[in-house]
Amino acid sequence: MTNVYQYTDYREYLKAFFAERKAKGAGFSHRSLCRRLGLASPNFILMVMQGKRNLTRPLAFRISGEADHDEKETEYFACMVDFARAKTTLEKDRGFKRLIALRKTMDVEKIEESQYEYFSNWFNLVVRELVTYPDFKGDYNWLAKKVRPRITPRQAKRSVELLLRLGLIKKNGKGFDRSSALISTGPQVSSFAVAGFHRTMAQQAAEALDSVPKNERDISSCTVNISQKGFEQVKEAIAECGKKIMAIAGADTPADRVYQVNFHLFPISSKDRK
C-alpha cells in the first residue's frame, strides 16, 4: 500500500495512489474517481496531477476517505495540500515543519528532512569549511566561536553530525575533509529552504556594513537600465564570476577565513508594458 508519509508533494502521492488502485481494479479510472468524489469535471484529478488544478482542504479530506486513510494519515495529506498552497517562504517553512512533526513516529526516510535542515541553518555551510582547518581538534567551543555571528557549541556539534550524515564531510584521522557529495532535494523543499538561506545571508550582508571594518569587506552595487536580453546577459556574467571566484578559492591554500559572496539582481522599477 502506498505510504503517504513517504511524500511531501501531494501530487506525487496522488499519482502513486492512482497507479496502485488502477492496478488492482480494471474499472478504476480518473472519471470513476471524480464521480465518487462528487466532482463535475471527469478530468479534474488528472489535471491536479498535472499541476493544472489545485486541491482544497475539503477535497483533500474526501480523497483521504477514498484512500482509506486513518486520522493521522488524513491530517498529513491535508497538511501536504496546505504546504503546496503556501505563498511565502515563511508559510512554507511552517508547513514543512508541520509535516516533519507528523512523520516523527513513522518509519520513513529522513534524508529529505536533513537536507532541509542543511539549507535552513545558514551556519552549516560555514561549519563545513571550518572543520577542515588544522586548528579544529574536535573542540566545539572553538568551532562555535569561529562562526560569525557566533553559534552555540551544541549547534556546532549538531552541524558536524548532520554534515557527516549527509556525506558532505568525512573523517580524516583526527580531522575532517570536505567530500564531493552534492545536496539534492525535491523542488518544493529546496526552493523555500534555499530562499531562507539567501534571505539570512542578505540580512547578514546589511549588518556587515556596521559590524565589519571596511578593510575586511567589499560591499558595492550598481543600478542599470537594461532590456530582457541585457538581463539574461547580466545573469550569465554573474554565473561566470561565481565560477571564477570558486576557482580562486579552490586554488587558494591554505585558507584562513570563511567569506560569504552574495550576488543580487532584481528589478527596482515596474516593467514597461509596451
Predicted pLDDT of residue 108 = 47
250 vs 99, 171, 237, 255, CA distance in Å? 38, 20, 20, 9
Give the model's pLDDT for residue 111. Answer: 47
Whole-number pLDDT of residue 75: 92
Phi and psi at residue 242, in whole multiples of 5°?
-60, -40
Give pLDDT, residue 184: 44
Nearest by Cα to 186 from 103, 236, 119, 90: 119
How many Å apart are CA 130 and CA 126, to the nearest integer?
6
Gyration radius from the chain CA atoms: 24
- Distance (Å, whole) CA 152 – CA 156: 6
Query: What is the per-residue pLDDT for 252?
Result: 83
The tens-digit pLDDT sequence of the chain (274 residues) is 788 888 888 999 999 999 888 888 768 899 999 999 999 999 999 999 999 999 999 999 999 999 999 998 999 999 999 989 988 877 887 888 888 788 765 544 444 566 677 877 889 989 999 999 988 989 999 999 999 999 999 999 999 998 998 888 998 887 898 886 545 444 555 566 677 788 888 999 999 999 999 999 999 999 999 999 999 999 999 988 988 888 888 778 888 899 999 999 999 888 866 5
Q: Domains along the chain?
A: 4-103 (1.10.260)
Per-residue pLDDT, 222:
92
List the grid coordinates of 9. Answer: 508533494
pLDDT of residue 274: 59
Calpha distance 23→25 (Å, rounded): 6
